[in-house]
Each structure stands twice: as C-alpha cells, then as structure tokens.
Amino acid sequence: MRYDVLVIGAGLSGMTCAIALAQAGKRVAVLAPGSGTLPMHSGSFDLLGYDSEGNVVERPFEAIGKLDPSHPYAKVVATHGAQRIGQLAEQAYEMISQLAVAPPSRGEVAAQPCPVVNQYRLTPMGALKPTWLTPVHLTAFSKPSLAGRQFVVAYYKPFLDFPVEFLAEGLRKAGAEVHVKELELNITSVGKAALKAPALARQKQGEALLKQLDGFEGQCPVLVPHIFGDIELTEMNERLDRRLSVVPTLPPTCAGHELSDHLRSLFTSLGGTLLEGDRAMSAIIENDRIVAVKSSKHVTHDLLQADHYVIASGSFGVKGLEARYDRVAEPIFDLDIDALDDPQQWTTSDVLSLQPYTNFGVRTDERFRTSKHGRTIENLYAVGSILSNTNSIKLACRQGVSMLTALQVANGILEQD
C-alpha cells in the first residue's frame, strides 16, 4: 500500500500531523495500535506554563524565545524565526476549535482569536496550573487568586476519581469560600469499571444532576466532576440559569476520550486512513531513506510505503521509547537517542524531583529529521513526546510540543512537495 505520508502513532501529535496533511489533500495513513496517553488528557492545552527557573509564565510566546536551544520550540525559532511559533499556535487553535463541541475559551476572559496570555486550569487535586487553552465548559480562571469568590463543589460519594477534600482545600488556599455538597449517582451498578469517568458519561447523569441542582441555594458557580459527555454538558448549560463548571477527574478522563474520538473522526472525514490495531515493527532503509514499514498486520507482503514517514509513537509509557539494560532505545527503527549513557544516572533517589529519563528521546536536526548511526534519515521525521529535551513536565508544554512540532513537520512536508 502506498501513501504520501505514513504516520506512526495516533496520539495528539500523530493525529495533529495527519489531520493537517489530510486537510491539504495528502493521502495519509496512521498506524493506531491503541489509545496511547490521550485518555490522560486533562482537557486543557499547555503551551508553556513555566520557564526554565520554574517561574510561572504569563505570556508563553514571549517566554518561548528564552528556552534552551535544544528544546523543540527553539528549533522552530532557529529555522523559521520567532513569529513561526505564533503561526503554528494559531493553526493549532483553529484545529482545536474544529474538534471540540464546546469551543476553547479564555476562562473568564472574553473569547478572542489565538490567546497570548496563559490562564489557570483547576486540577482534580485542587491546584491552579498555568495553561494556554481550556474548553469553555471546563473550569479555568484568569488569575491564580480566588479571593472573595464562592463555589459549591458537588461530588458523588462512590466515585473515587474526584478527590473532593483536596479540591476544596486547594480552592480555599487560593482564597475562595467553598461549600461541599454530595450528589446521588443515578446508576444501578457501582462496580469499579462502572465508576470510571468515561463509563459514567455513557450513563447520562445530566437530568439527575439538573434535578438535584434545583435544591441548591445561592447563585455561586457549582463545580462538578467531568463525568458527562460533551453534548450532554452543552445541553445542560443551555438549560441552567446558574453557572455549572466541570473539573477534570483523575485519569482516564472524559476529555481525553472525547479528544481521541474527535481527532479520529475529523481525520477519517477528511479521507484519511486509520490503521486500527496495527503497530509498526521495523523498516526497510536504503540510501538513508525509509523504503517501507513492516507492521503487525503487514509483515511479509503489502508493506506500508510512503514518500514521507512521521514517527509519533510517544515516550516510555506507550513503548515509543524503551529502557533496556544497557541503553535507551527507539524500538522500530533503532534511531539515535539523546540519553545519559550510565543507567545509574537515569533516575535519582529523590522520587519527588524530576527524573532525568523524562528528558530522553529521539535526536533530531532542526527540521525534526531523525538519524541512525549518525546519518540523517531524509524522509523520517519525529514529533511529540518521543522528542528529546522537551522538558515537558517541568515546563508544562506537553500538548504544545505535541501539536506545534506536528504542525511544523506537516508544513515542512507540504512546502517540499
């Protein structure tokens, strides 16, 4: 089978790249063996939340210019100038707006095209974290202080993925007055599997919630766990005359499942080919170019061929990278890796500090082309969390790195052809 582009991995980065290419009319296939880390998605999109010293970033586009030159954003700036980051973010913002039933918002700030100032998302543990975009129904604030604000936090007792005490405590620490109310779940089975947020979303709790909210006094916003489907949420908000705001649950999240579904349906609606349950295994490489990829469903014949290949197979958690006894490896192509040689140095004994291995990843040049034994592979690009030196946990830039590197590579392929 021959495509213009074969994308390996159906996470945020792979799907973003594939959609951008399909929108431009390319024949694109995506290898999608599983859901990857998308079910962990909080619903918000981080671009750059902290600088290298750990200070909160208010204006991510300005701070990106000061990042270490090895960071993927810095590679974009080096080849295309600082304004390219803004252009890619604009492209990402448009794509997110097409995906979500509820459009991205500026929290309590009026919606505007491609925001340039960070907002603060509320985590299920009650922390306020800087982020770039949050869908309109999810809780986000324009500043980290909630002094003088009042909230009702409503929760369902059997549902354990919403740690209400931590959440209420976090809001109080930020200066808010908080009342906690228990709600009743309208389901018959309360087994563990039924009590995961995406499973509850299928049980449609909206009507029962609306009835219970009738008994709540006052007009202050009610924060509830995100256990509703996005259509149900939109309907509820239309019918309510007080503000209902959802807070992400611990993973797996509704936002993650919905994002995964929306990405896949947008891609297939554009004529893209999703190779579900199919995993890349190895490749034929000739003259520094990938000629074909072998996958779990295309082993000996009908190999997957394309003009360009994009590896978006994620980090250690989804086997995009592997920690072997003696080295860190990328298992499909055995690409060159940026990692410390000594396995003793991959982790530190202080479990609360950032672990060195989180910064390991595939080495790329300024165009995100990969290499093997020091030789550039001309038609294989890497995007997303498989890249080295993203520092994405410390800098809170995970979704930004995934989407912006994916779009940079997609644009680069389109510019070449």
Binding part of the chain for ligand FAD, among 28-36, 112-120, 284-292, 372-380 by CB under 6 A, reads: 28-36
Where does 1-127 show beta strands of DSSP type E? 2-8, 28-32, 104-105, 119-122
Nearest residue to 379 via CA among 303, 310, 302: 310
Say how far residue 335 (Cα) sits from the centre of its chain.
24
- Considering only 398, 404, 407, 410, the residue that binds ligand FAD (CB under 6 A) is 398
- Considering only 60, 225, 314, 361, the residue that binds ligand FAD (CB under 6 A) is 314
Q: Is residue 389 part of the contact set for ligand FAD (CB under 6 A)?
A: no
Number of residues interacting with ligand FAD: please give it, by CB under 6 A.
Answer: 31
Q: Is residue 198 part of the contact set for ligand FAD (CB under 6 A)?
A: no
| Maximum Cα interatomic distance, the chain, rounded to a whole number of Å | 72
> Token match 């291995």: residue?
357
- Considering only 8, 174, 274, 306, the residue that binds ligand FAD (CB under 6 A) is 8
The CB density around residue 51, as the number of other CB atoms within 10 Å, is 16
Q: Are 262 and 269 in contact (CB under 8 A)?
A: no
Q: Is residue 40 part of the contact set for ligand FAD (CB under 6 A)?
A: yes
Angle between helices 254-269 and 83-99 (to 10 degrees): 90
* Through-space distance between the first and last CA atoms of the chain, rounded to whole angstroms: 20
- Considering only 5, 263, 318, 362, the residue that binds ligand FAD (CB under 6 A) is 318
| Pick 9 or 49: Cβ nearer ligand FAD | 9
Nearest residue to 385 via CA among 373, 376, 395: 395
| Pick 48 or 318: Cβ nearer ligand FAD | 318
- State which residue has the least CB distance to ligand FAD: 11
Q: Is residue 312 part of the contact set for ligand FAD (CB under 6 A)?
A: yes
Strands 328-329 and 322-323: antiparallel
- Considering only 23, 42, 212, 411, the residue that binds ligand FAD (CB under 6 A) is 42
* Alpha-carbon gap, residue 308 to 293, rounded angstroms: 11
Q: Is residue 310 part of the contact set for ligand FAD (CB under 6 A)?
A: no
Site string for ligand FAD, 102-141 (x = CB under 6 A): ----------------------------------------
| Pick 172 or 279: Cβ nearer ligand FAD | 279
Q: Are 360 and 321 in contact (CB under 8 A)?
A: yes
The residues, ordered by sequence, that sit 6+ positions from 104 with a Cβ below 8 Å of its Cβ are 45, 93, 96, 97, 111, 133, 134, 135, 136
- Considering only 5, 19, 22, 38, the residue that binds ligand FAD (CB under 6 A) is 38
Site string for ligand FAD, 254-293 (x = CB under 6 A): -------------------------xx-------------
- Considering only 4, 9, 171, 309, the residue that binds ligand FAD (CB under 6 A) is 9
| Pick 13 or 205: Cβ nearer ligand FAD | 13
* Alpha-carbon gap, residue 65 to 77, rounded angstroms: 8
Residues in contact with ligand FAD by the rule CB under 6 A: 8-14, 31, 33-34, 36-38, 40-42, 279-280, 312-314, 317-320, 332, 384-385, 398-399, 402
